[in-house]
């Protein structure tokens, strides 16, 4: 029924029927087409084509046709004939690894149920071709087949098979330069960062050919010339020759070097805030220097480093947000280029409003107190950068997603609004563990809330699921097995009183342990050792020498209560001991930006812990006691003497030790330093060193058996027993490098190389390699920082907000354990919630 448009006649629409292979209801299709009953329309005319277009645009149908079935007077009856587009049923991808399939399905949009059109097939083909081309596979062949599915379900469906033959990667066999006299082939090849010719010795960069990278590298060659004063250098031509083997290409590049230029007079125009002299000091380019456009640009605005010492930052850090700096060549006679650096300073900008958005959990006051940009203050880029860094360090927000936004810039008034956009991230951790170890079941329940709000603890509404948002830390931990139980609680508030960043922290703990009874093979509850401890501390951020420094102080008390607890550790089985001490520490931490994966800065701390020097005023003659004890020791260890005498002597030694350790008298010094340096993008080198020393005021009273250092292993469990410190040293078993009683001096050095696998907020994963060495010593006489136990190894760390840090390390110990003669070899360490 081909009728010319102009002959269109007006009809009223009667019925509309639908035919063809479709699973959609007739009503839906008619409604969608817009052909409602009773509608006035011209046939042939616009309405029909609009209806077809509409149906077509739904991307659900194929072969859409509209017919007139009957005409009764001026009433027309229509029929829509169409069929559903087939849906994708099963997708098979051949030729690539399983893990890569998911990504392709997602990127190409090949989900089950997708409508399969020719367009989809072509797009998928193109997408895959392009994708592999980018990776250097220029010989990729893609074949896509569709097969109709015939079964009882009426919906038209097809199975799709995608065959991928990636073929061989195309590699660069040779790069040939022509016309280069000044710069050698080697130098030019080096300038090409991502296009390299085949070289078996180079392991970091591959030699595949990627066109986009090649184009970029061509401009890098020009940059290289520009750096050397050849600012007219250009690439005359370049050609790509596919070699006979079809796997490699050769690149021929013809360059024209041009002549070398030098800098002439450099003048500053428009500068009122900084003098010519000051600006020259930042520019550091003098008349007569080889012309280097790249360097000039870098000294004016270095885009690769946000905190570089360039002229732009000089202005940006002192409020001149609206300043602009343009170098202009004013004269180029005789290959000498005179430059004018035109500066438009503009008005200094002041912050008008400063706001934070995106804090769904954290309260304003926790965030605003961290900001170094406040309303009315002069704009400074440095302060903005630092605010972002410090918000990231709080750990409440995704450090990668904090962005400072400038709103409503007003160059006339000199004002700018600042908005920090943050994204909350999970900051609570739950640890629930059950395991079999130490001869029985061990259960652990740990809760730590890093953004707690203690003031909301009695508010019912705040439990979503726990009161959050005041930046306080609260941790509870219970651990129990047949042989011991530990309860601990800690709380800290980073801004005590809300006025100044004085951190208050307190912790309480109680540990019970029982001895093993070899007869019942169970814990012997009558032989126990209890430790109860409390500590209260204050830490304050200092402003001098700089504000990365923190001074901390703490008072702690521990009570050790022994009952029938006779082990090698103590000479007295019944008795008690008290440890009242004061700790003072100074630390500096400017690591940035992500606390889990710092890429720069350093972290050092020095602490000293003291007890009261009781022996100065308690009128006990420790010298006499020591002599008596030494004499008794001889008796105890002399096996020729009668047993009664030896027991008596041994009891007396216990009594003397009880006297010596009733109140622990000691001092302890610790020093620790870590550095982080980004070598190339994201690859971080972390050297670190640490040292500890435990001493006694009164040598006759002796160094206490508590608070000692135990070197070796994973460094976990440092709170057990007697205030001991476990020092991690991978490649050796736990605490294996110290005496049974622990050392009084230790040192450790390590070098770690880290590389991130992913740094997403949901999971941060990085791999590491390490070299380390350390040892503990029993006195200064033995101390030798070079006689250390060395090790090296590899490991991986995974940080997930809900679980904390988990990791595994494989360390190889190069030295023998004490008392052994062969090197220790490989050890595996599991790391939970602690960083090396």
Partner 1 sequence: CSEYQKVLKNEEIAPKFKMGEALYNEGKYAKANKLFAQIVPNYRGKPQAEKLMYLYSNTFYKTKDYYVAGYQFERFASSYPNSEKVEEAAFLSAKSHYMLSPVYSKDQKETVEAIEKLQAFINLYPESEYSVEANILVKELDYKLEKKAFEIAKQYNKIAFTSTELEAAIKSFDNFIFDFPGSSLREDALFYKLDSAYKLGINSVEYKKQNRLITAKEYYEAFKNKYPNSKYTEAINVMVLEMDEALKNYSTKS
Rg for the chain, CA atoms, rounded: 38
Binding string to partner 1 for residues 413 to 452, with x set by CB under 8 A, is what? ----------------------------------------
Tokens of 425: 């991230």
Tell me which residues in 716-745 interact with partner 1 (CB under 8 A). none
Nearer to partner 1 among residue 216 and residue 547 (C-beta): 547
DSSP 377: S
- Considering only residues 373 to 402 of the shown chain, the ones binding partner 1 according to CB under 8 A are 374-377
- The span from the CA of 90 to the CA of 112, in Å, is 7
CB of 374 to partner 1, least distance (A): 3
Q: Which two tokens stand for residue 317?
A: 């850090």
> What CA–CA distance (Å, rounded) separates 572 from 563?
9
Give least dist CB 409 to partner 1, A.
17
**Residue from 33, 114, 271, 359 in contact with partner 1 (CB under 8 A):** 359
Q: Per-residue contact track with partner 1, 201 to 240, x per CB under 8 A?
A: ----------------------------------------
Contacting partner 1 within 4-63 (CB under 8 A): 27
368 belongs to the binding site for partner 1 (CB under 8 A): yes
Q: Which is nearer to partner 1, 34 or 438 (CB)?
A: 34
Among 112, 365, 525, 760, binds partner 1 (CB under 8 A): 365
CA distance 150 to 147: 9
Q: Using the minimum distance from each CB to partner 1, give the nearer residue, 127 or 368.
A: 368
Of positions 41, 341, 356, 792, contacts partner 1 by CB under 8 A? 356
460 touches partner 1 by CB under 8 A: no
Structure-token match 């870098």, residue found: 298
User: According to the binding rule CB under 8 A, does residue 362 interact with partner 1?
Assistant: yes
Residue 467 binds partner 1 (CB under 8 A): no
Least Å distance, CB 353 to partner 1, is 6
Any contact of residue 353 with partner 1 (CB under 8 A)? yes
Stretch near partner 1 under the rule CB under 8 A, chosen from 322-330, 355-363, 548-556, 751-759: 355-363
Tokens encoding 22: 């479709």
Phi and psi, residue 312, nearest 5°: -60, -45
Size of the site for partner 1 (CB under 8 A): 23
Q: Which two tokens stand for residue 583?
A: 């700790």
Tell me how far, at minimum, the Cβ of 50 lies from partner 1, in Å. 22
Among residues 39, 92, 500, 623, the one that binds partner 1 under rule CB under 8 A: 500
Phi and psi at residue 87, to the nearest 5°: -95, 155
- Pick 181 or 461: Cβ nearer partner 1: 461
Segment interacting with partner 1, rule: CB under 8 A, options 151-159, 296-304, 368-376, 773-781: 368-376
Pairwise CA distance, residues 312 & 434, whole Å:
58
What is the residue whose two structure tokens read 């703990």? 509
Q: In the numeric block, which tokens belong to residue 519?
A: 């007869």
- Interface with partner 1, residue 406, by CB under 8 A: no
Tokens of 134: 């980018």
Peptide bond preceding 465 in cis form (omega within 30 of 0): yes
- Please give the Cα distance from 667 to 648 (Å, whole number): 33
Contact 677, 685 (CB under 8 A): yes
Secondary structure letter of residue 186 according to DSSP? H
> Least distance in Å: CB of 495 to partner 1?
8
Interface residue with partner 1, options 498, 574, 618, 832 (CB under 8 A): 498
Backbone angles phi, psi at 737, to 5 degrees: -95, 10
- Distant-in-sequence, close-in-space partners of 17: CB < 8 Å, separation ≥ 6: 26, 69, 77, 78, 79, 80
Of 689 and 761, CB closest to partner 1: 761
Q: Does 278 bind partner 1 (CB under 8 A)?
A: no
Is there binding between residue 113 and partner 1 (CB under 8 A)?
no
DSSP letter for 291, please: P
Q: Which of 44, 86, 264, 358 binds partner 1 (CB under 8 A)?
A: 358
Could you tell me the CA-to-CA distances from 455 to 394, 452, 471, 764 in Å, in that order?
A: 20, 9, 11, 32
Question: Rounded to the nearest 5°, which phi and psi values hold at 496?
Answer: -65, 125
Task: Tell which residue, 521, 545, 497, 507, has the closest CA to residue 369.
Answer: 497
- Of 206, 252, 369, 541, the residue at the interface with partner 1 (CB under 8 A) is 369
Closest contact distance (angstroms) between CB of 375 and partner 1 is: 4
CA 694 – CA 666 distance, rounded (Å)? 7
Return the residues of window 149-178 that contact partner 1 according to CB under 8 A.
none
Give 289 or 417: the residue with its C-beta nearer to partner 1.
Answer: 417
- The residue count for the chain: 836
Q: Figure out which of the listed residues 499, 521, 681, 781 binds partner 1, where binding follows CB under 8 A.
A: 499
Residue with tokens 């994201």: 682
Instruction: State which of positions 120-149 bind partner 1 (CB under 8 A).
Output: none
Q: Are 676 and 600 in contact (CB under 8 A)?
A: yes
Q: Minimum distance from CB of 208 to partner 1 (Å)?
A: 47
Q: Closest separation between CB of residue 264 and partner 1, Å?
A: 43
Distance, in Å, from the CA atom of 161 to the CA atom of 142, rounded to the nearest integer, reads: 10
Q: Does residue 281 bind partner 1 (CB under 8 A)?
A: no
Task: Give min distance, CB of 662 to partner 1, in A.
Answer: 46
Minimum distance from residue 24 beta carbon to partner 1 (Å): 13
DSSP string, 499-554: TS-EEEEEEEEEEEEEEEETTTTEEEEEEEEEEEEEEEEEEEE--SS-TTEEEEEE
Residues that bind partner 1 (CB under 8 A): 27, 352-353, 356-365, 368-369, 374-377, 469, 498-500
């Amino acid at each position: 029924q081909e009728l010319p448009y102009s002959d269109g006649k007006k009809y009223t629409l009667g019925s509309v029927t639908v035919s063809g292979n479709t699973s959609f209801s007739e009503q839906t299709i008619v409604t969608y087409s817009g052909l409602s009953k009773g509608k006035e329309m011209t046939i042939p005319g616009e309405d029909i084509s609009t209806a077809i277009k509409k149906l077509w645009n739904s991307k659900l149908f194929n072969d859409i046709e509209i017919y007139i079935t009957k005409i009764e007077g001026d009433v027309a009856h229509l029929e829509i004939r169409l069929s559903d587009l087939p849906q994708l049923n099963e997708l098979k991808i051949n030729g690539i690894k399983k893990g890569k399939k998911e990504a392709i399905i997602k990127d190409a949009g090949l989900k089950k149920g997708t409508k399969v059109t020719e367009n989809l097939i072509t797009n998928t083909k193109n997408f895959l071709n392009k994708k592999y081309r980018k990776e250097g596979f220029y010989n990729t062949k893609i074949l896509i087949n569709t097969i109709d599915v015939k079964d009882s379900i009426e919906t038209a469906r097809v199975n799709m098979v995608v065959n991928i033959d990636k073929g061989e990667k195309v590699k660069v066999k040779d790069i040939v330069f022509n016309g280069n006299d000044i710069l050698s082939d080697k130098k030019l090849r080096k300038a090409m960062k991502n296009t390299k010719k085949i070289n078996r010795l180079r392991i970091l960069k591959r030699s595949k050919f990627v066109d986009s990278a090649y184009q970029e590298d061509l401009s890098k060659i020009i940059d290289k010339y520009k750096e050397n004063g050849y600012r007219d250098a250009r690439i005359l031509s370049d050609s790509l020759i596919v070699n006979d083997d079809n796997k490699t290409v050769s690149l021929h590049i013809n360059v024209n070097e041009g002549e070398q230029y030098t800098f002439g007079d450099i003048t500053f125009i428009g500068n009122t805030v900084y003098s010519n002299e000051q600006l020259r000091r930042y520019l550091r380019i003098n008349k007569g220097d080889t012309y280097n456009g790249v360097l000039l640009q870098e000294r004016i605005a270095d885009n690769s480093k946000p905190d570089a010492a360039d002229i732009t930052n000089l202005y940006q850090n002192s409020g001149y947000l609206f300043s602009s700096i343009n170098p202009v060549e004013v004269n180029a006679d005789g290959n000498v280029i005179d430059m004018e650096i035109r500066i438009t300073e503009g008005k200094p900008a002041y912050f008008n409003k400063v706001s934070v958005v995106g804090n769904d959990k954290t309260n304003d006051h926790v965030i605003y107190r961290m900001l170094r940009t406040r309303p009315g203050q002069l704009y400074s880029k440095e302060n903005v950068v630092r605010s972002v860094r410090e918000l990231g360090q709080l750990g409440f927000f995704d450090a990668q997603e904090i962005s400072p936004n400038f709103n409503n810039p007003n160059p006339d008034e000199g004002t700018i609004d600042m908005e920090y956009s943050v994204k909350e991230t999970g900051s609570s951790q739950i640890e629930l563990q059950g395991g079999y170890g130490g001869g029985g079941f061990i259960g652990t329940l740990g809760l730590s809330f890093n953004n707690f709000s203690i003031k909301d603890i009695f508010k019912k509404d705040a439990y979503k699921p726990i009161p959050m948002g005041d930046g306080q830390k609260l941790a509870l931990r219970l651990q129990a097995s047949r042989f011991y139980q530990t309860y601990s609680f800690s709380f800290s508030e980073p801004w005590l009183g809300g006025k100044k960043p004085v951190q208050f922290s307190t912790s309480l703990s109680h540990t019970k342990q029982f001895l093993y009874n070899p007869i019942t093979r169970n814990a012997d509850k009558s032989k126990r050792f209890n430790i109860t401890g409390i500590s209260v501390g204050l830490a304050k951020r200092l402003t001098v020498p700089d504000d990365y420094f923190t001074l901390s102080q703490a008072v702690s008390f521990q009570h050790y209560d022994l009952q029938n607890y006779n082990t090698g550790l103590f000479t007295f089985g019944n008795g008690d001991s008290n440890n009242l001490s004061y700790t003072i520490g100074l630390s500096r931490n400017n690591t940035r930006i992500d606390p889990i994966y710092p890429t720069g800065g350093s972290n050092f701390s020095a602490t000293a812990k003291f007890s009261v020097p009781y022996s100065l005023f308690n009128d006990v003659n420790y010298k006499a006691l020591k002599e008596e004890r030494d004499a008794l020791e001889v008796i105890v260890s002399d096996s020729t003497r009668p047993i009664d005498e030896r027991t008596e002597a041994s009891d007396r030694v216990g009594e003397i030790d009880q006297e010596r350790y009733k109140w622990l008298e000691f001092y302890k010094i610790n020093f620790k330093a870590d550095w982080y340096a980004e070598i190339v993008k994201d690859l971080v080198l972390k050297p670190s060193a640490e040292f500890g020393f435990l001493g006694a005021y009164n040598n006759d009273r002796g160094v206490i058996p508590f608070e000692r250092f135990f070197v070796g292993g994973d460094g976990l469990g440092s709170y057990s027993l007697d205030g001991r410190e476990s020092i991690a040293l991978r490649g050796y078993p736990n605490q294996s490098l110290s005496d049974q009683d622990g050392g009084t001096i230790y040192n450790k050095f390590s070098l770690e190389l880290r590389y991130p696998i992913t740094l997403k907020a949901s999971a941060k994963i990085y791999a590491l390699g390490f070299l380390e060495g350390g040892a503990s010593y029993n006195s200064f006489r033995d101390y030798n920082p070079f006689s250390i136990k060395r090790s090296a190894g590899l490991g991986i760390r995974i940080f997930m907000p809900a679980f904390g840090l988990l990791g595994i390390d494989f360390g190889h110990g190069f030295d023998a354990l004490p008392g052994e003669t062969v090197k220790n070899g490989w050890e595996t360490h599991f790391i939970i919630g602690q960083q090396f």
